[in-house]
Structure formats: C-alpha cells, structure tokens
Amino acid sequence: MVNTEEMRKIQFTGKSSYIVSLPKQWVSDMGLRQGDQVAVVRQGISTLQIIPLKHHNKPVVTEDATIEIKLEDEGAVIIRKLISLYLLGFNIINVKPKIGRLKPSQRNAVKEAVKGILMGTEIIADSTEGLTIQVLINLFELSVDGALKRMLIIAKSMQNDALLALGEANYDLSKEVIDSDDEVDRFSFYIIRQLKIAIQNEHMLKEMGIESPYHCLGYRLIVKNIERVGDHATELAKDLLEFKKPIKKSILEPIQELNTFALSVLDEACLSLFKRDFSQAEFTVEKSAEISKYEKKILDGIKLLRDDEEIYRVRRMNENIRRIAEYASDIAEIVMNMTIEKSLRKQ
C-alpha cells in the first residue's frame, strides 16, 4: 500500500517566506522537474491542495455527465438516472439515445423531471438527438435550512389539507395533496445535492452554516423524516379517492386533534434544529410520548363503530398520523446528538 502521509517541517527562507519540501515519489509520479509550477489551493480553514499546473484545469470531479438511453428504457428508468446524477452534483447532464433517436415518451419523461422534480434545472438543448440539462441555481441562493423550512411547510399543509378533504369529500383537494408530494421531493433532492457538494469542501460547509461533515448525516436523516410526512399525507388523501365517501365529523374530530398534536411536536423538533437547542430537542422527545392520550380517544371511538370498512379506515389514519410524532421524536434525537457537545461546553 502506498504511504499517503509523510511528515514535513516548515522552514523559513528569505525575509517572509515559509517553505515545505514535497515527497520525491509524488514529484516523480506527477512527472515534475525542477522549475515546474504547481498551484496551491486553499480548501477550508486548515487544508491546502497542491496541483501540478498541467493538471490544474482538470477538475477533480467533472461537472458534465452523459447518460445513454436505450430504445426500451421507460420514463421511470430515465428519471432515476437523472436524479442520481443530480444528487451527485453534476451541473450539466446530457441525455442521448444509444442508437437512433429518443422516443417522444422518453423526451417527455426528461422534461417532466426537470419541471417537477429537479430544482433549479433548465433544458438548454432539446432535439430528437438528445437533451442537455443545466443546473442554474447557485449553491448559496437557497440555504439548507431555508429549503428544509419550505419542505416542512409544504408537508404540514398537505397533512392538514388531506384531513380537510376527508371531512368535506373534496376529491379535487385530495388530488392536490397527492400532486404536492412532488414538491416535497424536489426540496429533498435539492438538500441532498447541497449536502453532497458541501461535504467535499470544508469552506462550503461553513458557509452553509453546517458545523461539521458529521452533521451532514444528521441533516440527511432529518430530510428523510420530513419527506415521510409528505408520504403519509398522500396516504390520507388517497383514502378518500379509494373509498369514495367522507369520514363522519364525530369520528374525524379526535383524528384532527391527534394531527394537530403531531404537527406541533414536529414544529418544535425542527425549531430545535434551526436554533441548535439541545434542551428544546430533549423536551420534544419527552412531549412526543404524550401522543398516547390522543390515540386513546380514537381507539375508544372505534369501539362504537359497527362498519368494518370504517374501522379499517380510522385505524389506518391513526397509524399514519402517529408516525409523524415518531418522526418528530427521531428528529429531536438527531438534534440532541448534533448539539450535545456544545451543551456540555456551556455547562
């Protein structure tokens, strides 16, 4: 195995320069000689990168990527590939047919993904021979916390609208809730992309307000939890479309109380993240356990029901909403892990 770490002493020369010798083997591997130039690039607070000048214009990670589409590839396959490249941080994504031309359905799948899933992207070239997608959004135009807040607002709104639709038998509103799940996914993909880019550069990490690469893992788990809130709202909205009748007001009231509690705990968990507040996160974990008293009202009401279909629907709604309180507790525990060290320093 090649030794990747060698110790070097800093030496002082002239009146104002410090020098460090380079490993002979590395100089040889790079094909360098005395007098050749190298670029010294600062990365973050404590790291310097040394790049031979002849390699300096070659990025460590290319910004362009090309995917070749087979004639039989369905839209879902193409979209999965696009999402993967977007999450990896590529700024230009070329979509080309492996043979012949792209089918209209394949081109439409790419356009729908750009329009509805991949935040900050535009199609800059479009023909039957292929499409080119460019990511236009700047890394700092929308912060991770800012995107997370918007994602949270949409997911909560979906949850409330789903219950409203169930009470009013509002089929159009149910469909709107289901469509809104794509918007939650857009913010989710955007945040994951930002985290992936930032974790490779300490300076970007600090600029984004994230204290360490370790915290990126915490953010990734939190994003997944909020994304799941949107999924449960979608399940509630699908209930009305599946059974074609509303939930009685007397039954819906305790369900709405449970939902209000679950969303309030979720709010407090996310607030503890934005404030980096260990105490509030700890309080949120404890408060989430109170959900059992709200569930008891629903379960007591189920005992009075005679319709098996109605019992099934209410139990499924209770399960979907209870999960939200569990996600809130999970988020709060992640925040505790992220802030425990700071809390100890304060003490």
Average pLDDT, the chain: 88
Work out whether the CA dihedral 306, 312, 317, 319 comes out positive or negative.
Answer: positive
Cβ-contact 340, 278 below 8 angstroms: yes
Indicate if the pLDDT at residue 330 is higher than 90.
Answer: yes
Reduced to 3 states, what is the DSSP secondary structure of residue 196?
helix
Domains of the chain plus CATH, in order, are: 11-55 (no CATH), 64-135 (3.30.110), 144-346 (1.20.58.220)
* Spatial separation of the C-alpha atoms in residues 185 and 227, rounded to whole Å: 7
In the chain, beta strands by DSSP E: 11-13, 17-19, 38-43, 47-52, 64-69, 92-97, 121-127, 130-135
- Express each pLDDT in 43-71 by its tens digit: 655 677 787 876 544 443 447 899 999 99
Secondary structure of the chain: what % helix, strand, coil (to 5)? 60, 10, 25
User: What is the DSSP-derived secondary structure letter of residue 22?
Assistant: P
Single-letter amino acid code for the residue at 169: A
- What pLDDT, in 10s, does the model give residues 91-117? 899 999 999 899 999 999 999 999 989
Over 50: is that where the pLDDT of 1 sits?
A: no
Residue 13 buriedness (CB in 10 A; 0-12 / 13-18 / 19+): exposed
The alpha carbon torsion through 221, 224, 225, 229 (nearest 10 deg) reads 170
CB 202 within 8 A of CB 45: yes
Predicted TM-score (pTM) of the model is 0.77
Tell me the per-residue pLDDT of 290-321, one tens digit each, with 9 for 90 and over. Answer: 999 999 999 888 888 888 998 999 999 999 99
